């Protein structure tokens, strides 16, 4: 219909076209590759430690692919369940679902396909024990952490974080087919490491979690209290890491790296506590300094566990 004479037409605002590349990137983003990368960092060293050297390349590839699919599935479900709060947080509002690059239904199907694929890859190409452990980790992350604990308690990451401790167990069982004490110690290292790592990040983005209604510890506790708990869990992490030395009968490389990195990790936690006690705000307290070092600490300690039997021998 032609508008009346003298009436101006107002053009409709059209957003940028979504390309196939954008959609692919959105689906990859649903798996949270940075988090998966950290999980795989704890899987591969456990395999080297279990093999006392270099494990079969076929088993390594199948385990890493299956592990990526399992973690990617859990992370995708996390995106689906948390879509409502992700759009409220600056740190997460650019994810695929808040930007409507992928629908929640499509993401749920995608997460299911990844989960089924992980079980089949691990079960058929590695062994069924590793496959069931990956499925259990997936279920714990989705149902225990994301659906039950995350929005209800500041203890969410302590118990919900157990799901992220499974990669060392999966890596070990992929090589040996059984569970033993060394991977249990590696499991406990990640268990104690997760709270200070996550609380430091939540401290930096405290306002985001507060806006999303997520009771992360930095949202509900004072800075000094958070820093104190970070120090406690850091000390537990370092102490547990040293237990691997006699349990796995490592050479000199592992305790040297674990000891040096552990001391520095504790020093960072002490400095964070001192800044909190001095009244530093969220920015000047520099919690991300400890967050980044915690990443480096975990990678170095697990790398030492992998290289020790290969370079030093038993």
Q: Which residue has the tokens 């992350």?
A: 141
- Give the residue among 91, 80, 32, 75 at the shortest CA–CA distance from 211: 91
Q: Provide the whole-model pTM.
A: 0.91
Helix axes 104-125, 57-81, angle to 10 degrees: 160
**C-alpha angle 294/298/301, rounded to 5°?**
130
Which listed CATH number (3.40.1390.10, 3.30.70.20, 3.40.50.300, 1.20.120.1780) goes with 180-314? 1.20.120.1780
What whole-number distance in Å separates Cα of residue 8 and Cα of residue 59? 68
Q: Does the pLDDT of residue 22 top 90, yes or no?
A: no
Residue ranges per structural domain of the chain: 26-179, 180-314
- The CATH architecture that domain 26-179 belongs to is Orthogonal Bundle (1.10)
Which tens digit of pLDDT belongs to each residue from 275-289? Answer: 999 998 888 899 999
Provide the angle, in degrees to the nearest 10, between the axes of the packed helices 57-81 and 128-139.
20
Cα separation, 111 vs 81, whole angstroms: 11
pLDDT (tens digit, 9 = 90+) per residue, 122-148? 999 999 999 999 999 999 999 999 999
CB 138 within 8 A of CB 118: yes
Please answer whether residues 167 and 180 qualify as being in contact, where contact means their C-beta atoms are separated by less than 8 angstroms. no
| Structural element, H or E, at residue 221 | none
Mean pLDDT of all residues in 4-23: 59
């Amino acid at each position: 219909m032609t508008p009346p004479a003298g009436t101006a037409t107002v053009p409709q605002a059209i957003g940028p076209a979504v390309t196939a590349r954008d959609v692919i990137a959105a689906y990859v983003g649903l798996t949270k590759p940075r988090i998966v990368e950290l999980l795989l960092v704890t899987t591969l060293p456990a395999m080297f430690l279990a093999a006392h050297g270099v494990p079969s390349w076929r088993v390594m590839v199948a385990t890493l692919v299956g592990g990526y699919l399992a973690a990617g599935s859990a992370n995708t479900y996390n995106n689906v369940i948390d879509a409502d709060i992700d759009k409220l947080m600056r740190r997460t509002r650019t994810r695929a679902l808040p930007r409507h690059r992928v629908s929640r239904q499509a993401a749920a199907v995608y997460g299911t396909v990844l989960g089924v694929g992980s079980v089949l890859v691990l079960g058929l190409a590695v062994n069924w024990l590793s496959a069931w452990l990956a499925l259990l980790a997936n279920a714990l992350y989705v149902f225990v952490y994301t659906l039950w604990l995350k929005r209800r308690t500041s203890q969410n990451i302590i118990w919900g974080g157990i799901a992220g401790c499974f990669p060392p167990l999966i890596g070990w069982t992929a090589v040996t087919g059984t569970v033993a004490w060394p991977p249990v110690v590696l499991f406990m290292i990640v268990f104690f490491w997760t709270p200070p790592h996550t609380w430091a990040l939540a401290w930096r983005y405290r306002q985001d979690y507060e806006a999303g209604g997520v009771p992360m510890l930095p949202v509900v506790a004072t800075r000094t209290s958070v820093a104190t708990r970070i120090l406690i869990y850091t000390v537990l992490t370092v102490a547990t890491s040293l237990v691997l030395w006699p349990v796995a009968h490592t050479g000199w490389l592992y305790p040297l790296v674990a000891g040096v990195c552990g001391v520095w990790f504790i020093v960072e936690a002490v400095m964070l506590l001192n800044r909190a006690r001095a009244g530093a705000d969220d920015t000047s307290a520099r919690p991300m300094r400890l967050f980044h070092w915690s990443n480096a600490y975990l990678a170095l300690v697990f790398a030492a566990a992998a290289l020790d039997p290969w370079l030093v021998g038993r």
